[in-house]
Amino acid sequence: AKIVDIINKAETIHSLTKEEIVDLLRCDEYDQQLFLAADRVRSQYVGDQVHLRGLIEFSNICQQNCFYCGLRKENTKVKRYKLTPDTIIDLANKAKSYNYKTVVLQSGESQSYTVADMQYIIKSIKALGLAITLSLGEKSRDEYQIYKEAGADRYLLRIETTNPKIYKELHPGMSFENRLRCLRDLKDLGYELGTGCLVGLPNQTMECLADDILFFKSLDADMIGLGPFIPNADTPLAQERGGTFNTSIKVMAITRLLLPDANIPATTAMETLDKNGRIIALQSGANVVMPNVTEGEYRKMYMLYPGKICVNDTPKHCVGCITGKIQGIGRHISTEFGFRPKQKINK
Ligand code: 5AD
Ligand code: SF4
Ligand code: FES
């Protein structure tokens, strides 16, 4: 089929075959039409509000060794930190003072906080009237359940890649099956579920990316976070090429067409590759931004990849910065929690 017909089909019935997705990803001639279609679907299904989620990077301690990530255990150059529970709660209070309605508690994967610590943190932040998204990696079903009962609303766990071979190569000591188990448990426990992938991993083809997009749809993910893989010099993938900005935005735009009412962030990694990256993303299907509320030296110590934006900025500076940019394109900051508006869509 012609590319414009594929775009029209996606915009109309929100469904494509793998072959059609691959055709879209391979051809760059109609990218503007693709982005405009994704922008229309975004506006129609989730509106012109942008939801801001305050990101708290509360610990960079990690027991895993993902090949792409600067926080991997074997990277001894990183100075490890963990914020105290009360410091984390303070940051959530500050996020609230910036009118963020959600905080995202993100850390490396580790056991450096007890379950009781996490329950205390979640309950205290919940008492502030904020929605809570957790991003703590793979845990047991029981642990996920305890955090849900403590008040957590959402969970982010990217599948990273749905290609089992690439997954295995890049995640020593981890298993693809367990990651799927985590995603299923989280969904089953009633979390709003976020997943996503890296774009431009070694050996990743357009077919792999098409499978990733179809995976998000089959999982019926509520949130999908996507970004380019950016090679980090302190990792085994230092010499790789990494993903491009354009392919990342295309994967995101197609994801919007196929999951019209999902929450999709304009990610920091996109802005690392293009200084207007988050705004371009917001105009190509995205409806969420996750400004950093981590303070001081800790921002620099949470270095997943080089060139991370905002590392020398304060939380307060970032609110003003991103608010101005969003208003500058005629969009407004949401005053709501920004759960996925499920009722709007026929399934
Ligand atoms: N480039 C881009 N994104 C990365 N992440 C980890 N390392 C990198 C990198 N080098 C992403 C992973 C993880 C998220 C928290 O950060 O997708 O899920
Ligand atoms: Fe650890 Fe997450 Fe980085 Fe993997 S991606 S090394 S689990 S912080
Ligand atoms: Fe942090 Fe712009 S959002 S400086």
* Residue 292, SS3 per DSSP: strand
Could you tell me the domains of the chain? 3-336 (3.20.20.70)
Residue 229 CA to ligand 1 center (angstroms) comes to 7
Q: In this predicted model, what pLDDT tens digit does every residue of 316-344 receive, in sequence order? A: 999 999 999 999 999 999 999 999 987 54
Nearest-angstrom CA–CA distance, 287 and 334 = 10
Q: Which residues, in sequence order, are CB contacts of 115 under 8 Å at separation 6+?
A: 143, 146
Residue 16 CA to ligand 3 center (angstroms) comes to 36
Ligand 1 atom at minimum distance from 242 CA: 1
Among protein residues, the one with the nearest Cα to ligand 3's atom 1 is 318
Among protein residues, the one with the nearest Cα to ligand 1's atom 7 is 69
Percent of the chain clearing pLDDT 70 (strictly above): 99
Among protein residues, the one with the nearest Cα to ligand 2's atom 6 is 72
Closest C-alpha to 58, from 12, 1, 118: 118
Residue 230 CA to ligand 1 center (angstroms) comes to 8
For position 1, what pLDDT does the model report?
77
Q: Confidence class of residue 346 from pLDDT cuts 50, 70 and 90?
A: very low
Q: In this predicted model, what pLDDT tens digit does every residue of 131-163 receive, in sequence order? A: 999 999 999 999 999 999 999 999 999 999 999
Q: Count CB-CB contacts under 10 A for residue 203.
A: 12
Q: In this predicted model, what pLDDT tens digit does every residue of 67-97 receive, in sequence order? A: 999 999 999 999 999 999 999 999 999 999 9
